[in-house]
Amino acid sequence: MCKEILLLKTSPHNSNDIKRMSAILDNHPHIAVWNIDLDDRDKILRIESEGLAVGDVILSLFGIGVWSEELSE
């Protein structure tokens, strides 16, 4: 399988949100690398993955109170 890049707008409000996001994203078996640009107004989350549906990420983040939306090209 080839690596895909997922880009999402997100809404973490504080360091606790980032810690909860990290706990999910760091331990996900289909995520190779991720980072978030907190300086960007849309707080862009970039994920390199294999076989991960963007909807799964959105639902996981929603479960911890972080809104996210896939960026359209």
pLDDT digits (tens, 9 = 90+) for 10-43: 999 999 999 999 999 999 999 999 999 999 999 9
Question: In this structure, what CATH number is given to the domain that contains residue 58?
Answer: 3.30.70.100
- 44-49 β-sheet, strand order: 31-37, 44-49, 4-10, 68-70
Share the mean pLDDT of the chain.
93
pLDDT at 2 over 80: no
What is residue 1's predicted lDDT score, i.e. its pLDDT?
58
Confidence (pTM): 0.91
What is the total count of domains within the chain? Answer: 1
Q: Structural domain of residue 18, as residue ranges?
A: 4-70
Q: For position 66, what pLDDT does the model report?
A: 96
